Each structure stands twice: as structure tokens, then as C-alpha cells.
């Protein structure tokens, strides 16, 4: 299957996530709270744009079954994954309105812009390739952290979310869509899809870096 080929290509990148200090801090509960809050805010507005990608996928779907799957992925993002963010935010006294008003950091802006560009540039297979790395790699991380002997402490809910049966189903749906969309494609077309998945995997690493360093933009904001 095409996704087996993709995994061989991105596995070295994804393994680097597991060694990233932010991810390791999530897994053993030592992550600085301010770093997690920064991730939480940036990932919330990232997910708003991510949800738009599923809407694009639904509009470009080639049949009703595919459209239904994209609709379920959209609902899962808005109602399940973002609910976790709102739950954590409430614990920190951050309102939903404050979450939605967050300004995107440089990496967040660049990453979501790239995904949306790819989604609009080609057929539905481009949209699937653009969303795949995020959902699949988060599940990959969640599975790894859940299998460790570490105590995530306050981040246990995060770990539970990203290896839950519900999120596993979302990941499986994305993988299935990718394999279906790749059927009958030429090697040149598959290379383009592979490049999108690889590039979004690199963006995922940059996102962890952004959270770890609590970075926004490389220069001071204007008044």
C-alpha cells in the first residue's frame, strides 16, 4: 500500500519527534506549563485551519462515501480534538474567546498556509496528503507515550486522547483515504503526494520546536 511506502519515508522524521524535549516532557510530566500553554493556543488555531482542510476535502470528494468520511473527520476535529484543548484551557483560566483570538506564530502561519495551498492546488488526493502527517504522527506519538512507564501527570489526558479508539479511527480513516486516492496514480503523481507528506512532517517538527521555545515571530511585534 502507498502509506507503507510513505511511512518508510517519514519514519526517521517521526522518530525525531519522540526525542524532542517537548514531546519527552509531555510523556514524563516534566514539560514546563508555559510551553504547554503556548502549544495549546497555537494548536487550537492550527486546528481551525486544519478543519477547513477537511471541508475542502469534502467539496473535492469523488463520491458520497469519501464525502461522508471527510465530514466525520471534520466533526472529529471540531468536536473531539478541539474539546480537549478547550478543557485544558479552562483549567488555566483561558476562555474559548481568548483561544480564538490568538495570533498565529510564524510556524503556525506557514504550516497551515502550505497545507491549504496544496489542498486547493490539486485534486482531493492533495488534500488527503496535506492532512495525513498531522493525524497519523500524533497517533504515533500517543501510542509511544502510552506504552512507556513514565507518568505524564497533568498531561495524561493528552496522551489518552491521541491513542484513544476515537482518534485511532480518525487516523485509520486518513490512511484509508490516502491509499484509495493513490490507486492508479503514476509514479510522478505519487512522488508529488510523497513530497507533501514529507514536507508536512518537517513542519510538524518545527511546530514542536515552536512550542518548546515559546516562539512567535523572529522580530518584536509592532505597537
- Give the closest residue to 196 by CA, choosing from 110, 108, 119, 140: 119
| Distance in angstroms (rounded) separating the CA atoms of residues 181 and 177 | 6
Tell me, what DSSP letter sits at residue 154? G
| Distance in angstroms (rounded) separating the CA atoms of residues 28 and 57 | 36
| Distance in angstroms (rounded) separating the CA atoms of residues 111 and 134 | 11
- Give the closest residue to 129 by CA, choosing from 144, 146, 116, 113: 116
Cα four-point dihedral sign 19, 152, 42, 163: positive
Q: Which residues are catalytic?
A: 134, 204
Cell 482518534 -> residue = 167
Amino acid at each position: 500500500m502507498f502509506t507503507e511506502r510513505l511511512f518508510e519515508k517519514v519514519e526517521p522524521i517521526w522518530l525525531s519527534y519522540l526525542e524532542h524535549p517537548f514531546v519527552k516532557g509531555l510523556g514524563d510530566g516534566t514539560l514546563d506549563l508555559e510551553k504547554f500553554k503556548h502549544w495549546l493556543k497555537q494548536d487550537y488555531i492550527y486546528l481551525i485551519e486544519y478543519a477547513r482542510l477537511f471541508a475542502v476535502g469534502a467539496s473535492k470528494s469523488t463520491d458520497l462515501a469519501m464525502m461522508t468520511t471527510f465530514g466525520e473527520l471534520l466533526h472529529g476535529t471540531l468536536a473531539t480534538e478541539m474539546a480537549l484543548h478547550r478543557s485544558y484551557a479552562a483549567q488555566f483560566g483561558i476562555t474559548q474567546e481568548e483561544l480564538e483570538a490568538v495570533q498565529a506564530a510564524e510556524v503556525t502561519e506557514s504550516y497551515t498556509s502550505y497545507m491549504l495551498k496544496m489542498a486547493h492546488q490539486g485534486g482531493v488526493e492533495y488534500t488527503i496528503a496535506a492532512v495525513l502527517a498531522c493525524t497519523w504522527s500524533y497517533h504515533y506519538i500517543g501510542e509511544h507515550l502510552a506504552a512507556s512507564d513514565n507518568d505524564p501527570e497533568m498531561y495524561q489526558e493528552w496522551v489518552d486522547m491521541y491513542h484513544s479508539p476515537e482518534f485511532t479511527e480518525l487516523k485509520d480513516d486518513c490512511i484509508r483515504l490516502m491509499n484509495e486516492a493513490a490507486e492508479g496514480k503514476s509514479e510522478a503523481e505519487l512522488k508529488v503526494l510523497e513530497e507533501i507528506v514529507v514536507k508536512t512532517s518537517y513542519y510538524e517538527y518545527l511546530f514542536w520546536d515552536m512550542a518548546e521555545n515559546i516562539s512567535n515571530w523572529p522580530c518584536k511585534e509592532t505597537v
